[in-house]
Structure 1
Amino acid sequence: MRINGEVTTYRSEVLTGAVLGPLVVCALLSPFRNSFDNANAALLLVLLIVAVASFGIRPAGVVAAVSSAVWFDFFLTVPFNRLTIDDSADVEATILLVVIGAAVTEIAIWGRRQQARASRQKGYLDGVLTASHAAAQGASVKDLIDQVEAELVAVLRIDRARFVAGDKRPHAPQLNHDGSVSRGGQVLKVERDGLPTNAEIELVVQHAGTTRGRFLLTAAARITRPDLEQRLVAVALADLVGAALAGQPATP
């Protein structure tokens, strides 16, 4: 709850800045409006919109764009101190403020999403490399399984992962080698509906075509929607355990 409160406060502060920032800038520029071109003021407001958009909150970027257009009109265009514009160039500048602001906001949000995705990918890769390094350094199979269980929980954002010996159960949900999730022969739409919450999902551990055991994945506390990339990382982690178990009993 505290985290949600902090997020709400953060969003409120950004939105407040989006509303008041253009007002302050235009008010400060108004005493000098006869000594500079309005195009320069518009560029300054665009910089402000970019700054707000960089926070990645779409409503804030749009609000900053609209607020900039309104106060640009009110303080810096003839007739002054009225929401009316007589000069066609100022009309164009006002419209461009809104259009550019909306466009910059979308670009900023896209950039933050790409950055977040790259960060997640690095985290997934680090998990696989850490497990691979542990296996290469001769870590015990039990230690490797413990580590992979923790990585599976982190990658899939589930509640629990545990390794058991034995073959898969035919009617249990399965996380397949191609990253799909199926149940009773029917492929589930994980991105839309999430992982099954009413049963443990089985991730078979195998090597060279021989089943060495399975991870039972629990996702009961909340709906989680790992994408295909995350599910394939989980499969790769299970394969590491399968290779480590090759030539050993299924139970470490």
Structure 2
Amino acid sequence: MTGGWFGARRGVVRPLAVLVPLLVAALLGLLRGDLSASAAAVVIVIPIVAAAATGDRWAGVLAALAGAAGFDYFLTAPYLSASINRPEDVQLAVALLLVGLAVTELALWGHRQSAAAARRQVYLDDLVGLLDLPADPSGRALPTAICAAVTSVLRIDRTEWVEGVPPPDEVLVDPEGVVRLHGRALPVQLEGLPTDGSVSIPVARGGRVVGRFRLVAASRAVRPSRDELRAAVLLASSVVREVPATPTP
């Protein structure tokens, strides 16, 4: 996962992820008479961690490879050579590479957890906003607000409230956030929501379908997660506070 400032500057971050560990190793090579190999390896880990912290997996991997290569070239005998004579230096170089790769994966896991927490906060904020809406005799304010919230959560083109039962061939989102067509689950996390039609979230009251929120994602492929789809279903279910029940035909 890559995003934010670093995601927009991968063309700079990735070359730096290679150059900085090599430069650090070269500078440490000037002090190799006064510095142990293990201490030098610890210092080289620092720019690797910095590259991994960008959230770009390739930056972290490249930094780990560059750090291990720099350690081998500048800090192990024979110096300025790709060869390593001592078994302990081989083990240290391999350990440096593995630590760099592990740190990269841990940093990416942290980025994913942070992004998931931010998304959950958005869902909660949307729900709280719906609960705070004033009473509307026309019954239009809540469906309109839910449409805006669902559109934001799923990052789709638009959402529309439609009263009545969905047509038989409509793609539906079930309460568990699974997108289905005639009961068959669609792999929307891989292929995205259908762009040649709409997807509906049915809303029921007292066991009867009173309407649906129609999701439109025609301009681009949108791949919502199960959590995002479940949040959209939860938001959609709030509409029964104001929308009158419509008998199914």
Determine if the alignment matches structure 1 residue 177 to structure 2 residue 190.
Answer: no
Q: Provide the rounded CA distance (Å) in 1 between the counterparts of 2:89 and 2:163.
A: 74
Residues 51-130 of structure 1 aligned to structure 2 (within 5 Å): 51-130=50-129
Q: Conserved in 2, the CA contact under 8 Å of 1:207 and 1:243?
A: no
Residue 7 of structure 2 contacts residue 56 of structure 2 at CA under 8 Å; is this kept in 1? Answer: no
CA drift of 1:42 comes to 0.5
TM-score norm. by structure 1 comes to 0.86
Tell whether 2:242 aligns with 1:244.
yes
Write the mapping of 1:1-252 to structure 2, written as runs, cut at 5 A. Answer: 10-134=9-133, 137-139=134-136, 141-246=139-244
Deviations along 1:165-198, one digit per CA (max 9) or x if unpaired, are 2232222222233433232343333223322222
Displacement, 1:246? Answer: 4.2
Output the CA distance in 2 between the equivalents of 1:42 and 1:79.
17
Corresponding residue pairs, total: 243
The alpha-carbon deviation at position 10 of structure 1 amounts to: 1.2
AA aligned to 2:79 is F
For 1:19 and 1:182, locate their aligned partners in 2 and report how far apart those are by CA, in whole Å. 45
Q: By percentage of residues, which structure has more helix?
A: 1
In 2: Cα distance, 1:215 partner to 1:161 partner:
6
Instruction: State the TM-score, normalized to the length of structure 2.
Output: 0.87
Deviation at 1:162, TM superposition (A): 1.1
C-alpha contact (below 8 Å) 1:167/1:211 kept by paired residues: yes
Deviations along 1:133-164, one digit per CA (max 9) or x if unpaired, are: 22xx4356322221111111111222111112
Q: For 1:231, give the aligned amino acid.
A: L
Which region of structure 1 is more displaced relative to structure 2, 209-218 or 10-19?
209-218
- In structure 1, what is the Cα distance between the partners aligned to 2:240 and 2:120? 23
Q: Distance in 1 between matches of 2:62 and 2:116?
A: 26
* CA displacement at 1:202 relative to structure 2: 2.3
- Percent of matched pairs sharing the same residue: 37
SS of equivalent residue, structure 2 residue 11: helix
Structure 2: state its 5+ residue gaps: none
Q: In 1, are the aligned partners of 2:6 and 2:54 still within 8 Å (CA)?
A: no
